[in-house]
Chain A
Amino acid sequence: MNPPLSSNPPSGEVLLELDRVGISFGGLRAVDDLSFQVRRGEIVGLIGPNGAGKTTVFNMITGVYRPTDGQIRWHGQEITGLAPHLIAKAGVRRTFQTIRLFADMTVLENVIAGQHLLMQQSWWQGLLRTPAQRREEHALVERAMEVLHQLDLADVAQEIATSLPYGAQRRVEMARTLVARPELIILDEPAAGLNEQESAGLNDTIRAIRDAGITVILVEHDMSVVMNVTDNIVVINFGKKIAEGKPADIRTNPLVIEAYLGQDDDEDDPLMNAIHEEQAQS
């Protein structure tokens, strides 16, 4: 494996590799023969029409679903079908399309949850509240506050997480994944439900994550986000990969256009709108 020569993204070693991965639910082939690689330091976009199987791919990578075929490799080692907590331990963290914060808990407590695997205290130290345990609790709070500062959430640290506006909740979920210093974070539609201003801010956040040395995969419908921040895009339709390449190439790829045109009824589809604009300009 080549060590990264510079901080420029595509030169990194292969971090994650999907090798002919497939999954069936009953008779339905949700994902079929899907292969792609993610290199260290990249931001990879996974896009496709609604129901193409994007979230299913994420669920397979993070161990929520076990693929029926193929292999998923992490640092060259097979991790196919490992339990989610073991995938997390390996250094992969994710957010969810439908935000999954711990209800009735503060922003701070939610972010502390992200540090679960960094925790040293044993159960009896917690019950007896030993000095070492107290010191660790302080350190957990400090570290969480650091990340909350970075994501501009420090002021709401003591608020109940689910009472915040949608955009802030997304950032809390991101803070919860980032606090663990993962190698790879997987963002499932981070722009969903955000207003224009918030999704512009999201671009900066995603770049900041990459600049902190964390590799990013994102599923996203918001093309302003996908086209602006990704280094590489994988397009899937009906569970199969139909294209892969730089954002500029993907925009003009006929197969991609066809896939998106195939669902005319979805007039709000942003990629289709982007494609139409592109065509109008040329």
Chain B
Amino acid sequence: MNHANQTAQPTPATVAPPAGAGTRLLRIVGPLLWVAGLAIPSVMSPAWITIGGIFAIYSIVALSQDIVLGRAGMYDMGHAVFFGIGAYTSAILSLSFNWPILWTIPVAIVLAAALGAILSAPIVKLRGDYLLVVTIGFNAIFVLAMKNNVFGLTGGADGLFGVSGPTLFGHMFGTQSDLFYLNWVVMAIVLWLMRNLDRSSLGRTFRYIKHDELAATTLGVNARNYKVAAFALSAGIAGLAGTLFAMQLSAVSPGSFQFTDSVVLFAIVLVGGQASVPGVLLGTAMMFVVPQIFTEFAQYRYLVFGIAMILVMILRPQGIWPARKGAL
């Protein structure tokens, strides 16, 4: 990896705004890290392959949480619901209705996005702290509904078992390595979407609303519609991650989508850095990868992360890797 700095001679920026040196470096290092990550299944132990796959999935969920929380500025503390809807949708369609798992992906995305829009529409006018409490309520209801086996489809407290990976071009994605590659590629797609979001009217408008909703509305922004759109987009991406999660664990249960999971996602964004893709990825790594390095501490990951949360919020309230100011 130490040859990498030889290639760090950046090409001139094609767009008008001059990016900082750090950003230019990141544009090169980011993709390099992703490519390097592709080597994980061939060089690392099975445990690490699983960790890498799960990291990719949770990165996608955390990035989707960042759309609502870090970019649009809404305190969504029930994000695990949308992740769970995606996972349950795929599990139910594939197990109870024998759909090929890949076909369930669009349904998982659309259902999660629709739920995001429907749930958020009546509440986006609420002030931050009130919205937060309502979303906690959503999460509680979701977990309760899944535990109580609604429509006889969700499998109750034990959940659903036996979700298998997809079959693509006659190849069955069954091993952890296969799933790792799949998750890693989907993560790249989501990272590409996040980059585009930053450079689009949609992404900018989310930030206008976060910074000053009144000023944004006097410029013609329909704040309510954009807030609902932020929830829908964010929920759709979380739903996509849900499908990956169902395949990765080949099981789905209410225990994976509890209030505490929402809290972790919320904290990842705050600790990593709001509206910052590298920040959110770092936060996710701290939560899901770092604890694995100290395996004897694995069950104390909340302790590690808890201490990190406290320290970061006191010493660096903008997050470990804050968003670059003026990202165009």
Q: Which residues of A contact B (CB under 8 A)?
A: 62, 64, 83-85, 87-89, 93-94, 96, 100-106, 108-109, 112-114, 116-117, 119, 121, 123, 125-129, 133, 137, 141, 158, 160, 176-177, 180
How far is it, in angstroms, between the C-alpha of A128 and the C-alpha of B196 when the chains are bound?
7
B201 and A93 contact, CB distance less than 8 A: no
Some 12 contacts from A to B, beta carbons below 8 A apart, are A84-B218, A85-B218, A100-B214, A102-B208, A104-B325, A104-B326, A105-B211, A106-B326, A112-B204, A126-B197, A127-B200, A158-B18
Is B39 interfacial (CB-CB < 8 Å)?
no
Residues of B contacting A87 in the complex (Cβ-Cβ under 8 angstroms): 218
B201 and A85 contact, CB distance less than 8 A: no
Residues of A contacting B233 in the complex (Cβ-Cβ under 8 angstroms): 123
Q: Report A5 CB to chain B, min CB distance, Å.
A: 32
A104 and B196 contact, CB distance less than 8 A: no
A180 and B219 contact, CB distance less than 8 A: yes
Residues of B contacting A108 in the complex (Cβ-Cβ under 8 angstroms): 17, 328
B218 and A88 contact, CB distance less than 8 A: yes
Is B217 interfacial (CB-CB < 8 Å)?
yes
A109 and B328 contact, CB distance less than 8 A: yes
Q: Report A280 CB to chain B, min CB distance, Å.
A: 42
Q: A85-B222, A88-B217 are in contact. Are A129 and B328 (CB under 8 A)?
A: no
The tally of CB-CB contacts under 8 A between chains A and B is 105
Q: A127-B200, A129-B199 are in contact. Are A116 and B205 (CB under 8 A)?
A: yes
Is B229 interfacial (CB-CB < 8 Å)?
yes
B197 and A127 contact, CB distance less than 8 A: yes
Residues of B contacting A127 in the complex (Cβ-Cβ under 8 angstroms): 193, 196-197, 200, 202
Q: Which residues of B contact A (CB under 8 A)?
A: 16-18, 193, 196-197, 199-205, 207-208, 211-212, 214-223, 229, 233, 323, 325-326, 328
Q: Report A177 CB to chain B, min CB distance, Å.
A: 8
Q: A104-B211, A119-B201 are in contact. Are A114 and B196 (CB under 8 A)?
A: no
Q: Which of B199, B200, B325 has the most CB of A within 10 A?
A: B200
B223 and A96 contact, CB distance less than 8 A: no
Q: What is the chain B residue whose CB lies nearest that of A112? A: B204
Q: A104-B211, A113-B204, A129-B196 are in contact. Are A88 and B220 (CB under 8 A)?
A: yes
